[in-house]
Amino acid sequence: MSEAAGAKRRVRCDACPVLCNIHPGKTGACDRYANVDGVLTRTDPVLLARKVADAEGRMVPFVEGAEAWDGTLVEPADTFLTGVGSGTTYPDYKPAPFIVSSTHDGVDMVTVVSEAIFSYCGLKLKIDTDRYVGPEQAAVRCAGEHVGFVTTAEYGSQMLALGGVRHLTGGSKKEGKVTCRMMLELCNKQAVELQVDGGATLTVQAGRAPVVNGVAEQRMRVGCGSAAMGIFARQWVEHADEVVVVDDHITGVLTEHQAGRFLGMRPSGLRIRGRRSTPGRYFQVAAPGTGWGGTDIDDPLAIIEAFDPELAWPGLRLLMTSTTGEDAAWFVLDEDLRPVPAAMPEPIARVVERIGENCEPALTSVLFVAGAGGSLRAGVTENPVRLTRSVGAALTRVTCGGAPVYVWPGGGITLMVDVTRMPDNSFGYVPTPALVGPIEFTLRLADYAALGGHMDSVRPLAKAGAERDATVSGWRSGNPWPFAPFAEDPDG
């Protein structure tokens, strides 16, 4: 075959800015598009999600994975066409791959289905653990490359901001590639190892407990040291003379705290290190770390300066515990007012166990944040600002693989979605680099016409499912039905 003939059999892929020239039987750089007999073809099947009821009318729980579609006609009333495997609109002068009509409870609806190329996207990781991961604003690295930073800690959670356009495109080529791969793996619910400058090494995975410096975390704290006073003071008051809840943020001292004072507890004379905020609440009792209560201490007595001999007494009973109850110790003061370790009484042990019972499991949540703007909206309407306004007015519901999203206030369509609520392997990538993710816009057919939608491309859902290879999965029962804002959800 001549070189010219071979070139004619190649297919130029226009699904992203890379513009791969694909040989027959081969795929492009993203592995998402292939040259099949001279036709540019999306390699993965499109995913249909179906609500299925059992014999008693109850929803069958979501089944992981998907089965090949057997070709039977889909029922629009219980089927949602997701963007997973649908294909993209790039270079965006063309309508979305699927614009499907259906009727729900007598309301004519339309769903615009696509895979978006998200150059502007990032991840927010909420890591439910008291364990210190690193200083705020510290760089987070993956395979040695800077991919994000530690952001403001929230109540019982460490927070990371990862990815974003500046790491994808604003640094070295390697930084962009590593950032893209890291985001892709986390979005597809895989485990990733991260290093925090001046902090910990983490293994994180959506829906799993974080691993900090090689140790799998177990609990998210019940509250700060001060909050623990209010929760458990009445259960401690008859069995302990003093309780200290060690916490990196706010350490609580029961007899000083309002909870202890209102219960009539006698002052213990304990003097604790740190900066006193209000009675019974202390900041900076120790440096942050992986010890008790997110501090760097392994010996709780290290935060005690002394006991005032005018107030303390021999035999004083002292409980020291962390905010998760994983660390706890019982002491009794001797004749020299020194704390001596002793066996923990059963009533106190029960309350420490209750602290643990009230702690939720340690967990990593991966939230995908992206701007669904720019030219993506041209696949929905010829006048993109109308789509933005329709989303803002709640006339259009946005989903990602059928999962509900939070749309941030302000301009544009900036969405955030919990990846564990999306189908497995929902995300792909293009080597620009950028992530590719499913997106769906659902609204009334009349509203779609009013915003200038591509009405010539609307076709019934029953036909759309037959135009491409498809797989069918069960609907994830925890997700709201996308048509529920427009017609009452039969599942409640």
Lowest model confidence (mean pLDDT) among 40-49, 140-149, 232-241, 262-271:
40-49
> Does position 480 have pLDDT exceeding 60, yes or no?
yes
Polymer length of the chain: 492
Cα–Cα distance, 27 to 33 (Å, whole number):
6
Per-residue model confidence (pLDDT) at position 72:
59
| 402 within 8 A of 478, measured Cβ to Cβ | no
Amino acid at 229: M
In eight-state DSSP terms, residue 38 is: T
Q: Percent of the chain beyond pLDDT 90?
A: 73
The one-letter code for the residue type at 245 is: V
Whole-number average pLDDT of the chain: 90
pLDDT tens sequence across 91-108 = 767 899 999 999 988 899
Answer whether 243's CB lies under 8 Å from 235's CB: no
Q: What is the DSSP string of 147-188?
A: EEEEEEEETTEEEEEEE-HHHHHSS-HHHHHHHHHHHHHHHT
pLDDT attached to residue 284: 96
- Nearest to 180, CA basis, from 27, 43, 16: 16
Residue type (1 letter), 334:
D
Look at residues 443, 383, 359 and name the one whose alpha carbon lies nearest to residue 128: 359
- Is residue 358 classed exposed, middle or buried when 0-12, 13-18 and 19+ CB atoms within 10 A define those classes? middle
Domain ranges of the chain: 3-43, 47-119+366-419+433-474, 225-358
Q: Which H helix or E strand runs over 247?
A: none
Question: 126: which 2 tokens?
Answer: 């909420």
Residue 215, token pair as written in the block: 């140790």
Q: Please determine, for residue 154, whether its predicted confidence score (pLDDT) is greater than 70.
A: yes
Under 8 Å between Cβ of 387 and 462: no
For residue 111, give every residue at least 6 positions away whose Cβ sits within 8 Å of its Cβ, in sequence order, or none: 80, 81, 98, 99, 100, 102, 440, 441, 442, 461, 482
Scanning 188-303, the segments in alpha helix (DSSP H) are: 225-236, 258-262
Mean pLDDT of the 130-151 span: 96
pLDDT tens, 403-456? 999 999 999 999 999 999 999 999 999 988 999 999 999 999 999 999 999 999
pLDDT at 492: 40
pLDDT of residue 34: 77
Q: What is the pLDDT of residues 306-331, one digit of tens each?
A: 999 999 999 999 999 999 999 999 99
Identify the pLDDT of residue 1. Answer: 40
Residue 152 vs residues 123, 128, 149, 160, 186: alpha-carbon distances, Å: 14, 13, 10, 8, 21
CB atoms inside a 10 Å sphere around CB 369? 21
Cα(394)–Cα(328) distance, integer angstroms: 50
Q: How many CB atoms lie within 10 A of CB 210?
A: 23
Please report which confidence band the pLDDT of residue 198 belongs to, taking 50, 70 and 90 as the band edges. very high
**Confidence grade of residue 477 (pLDDT, cut at 50, 70, 90):** confident
Please check the confidence at residue 190 and state whether its pLDDT lies above 90: yes
**Sign of the dihedral defined by the CA atoms of residues 74, 79, 84, 88, in that order:** positive
Question: Is residue 56's pLDDT more than 60?
Answer: no
Label residue 69 by pLDDT band (50, 70, 90).
low
Q: Is the pLDDT of residue 485 over 80?
A: no
DSSP 346-394: HHHHHHHHHHHHHSPBPEEEEEEEEE--GGGGGGTBSSHHHHHHHHHTT
Six-digit token string for 380: 């929905």
Q: What is the pLDDT of residues 342-359, one digit of tens each?
A: 999 999 999 999 999 999
> Alpha-carbon distance 228 to 236, whole Å?
11
**pLDDT at 16 > cutoff 80:** no
Cα torsion through 288, 290, 294, 299, rounded to 10: -90
Name the token pair of 291: 């010890």
CA distances from 352 to 255, 258, 319, 328, 490 (A): 18, 21, 10, 7, 44
Residues 270/244, Cβ–Cβ less than 8 Å: yes
Does pLDDT of 73 surpass 90?
Answer: no
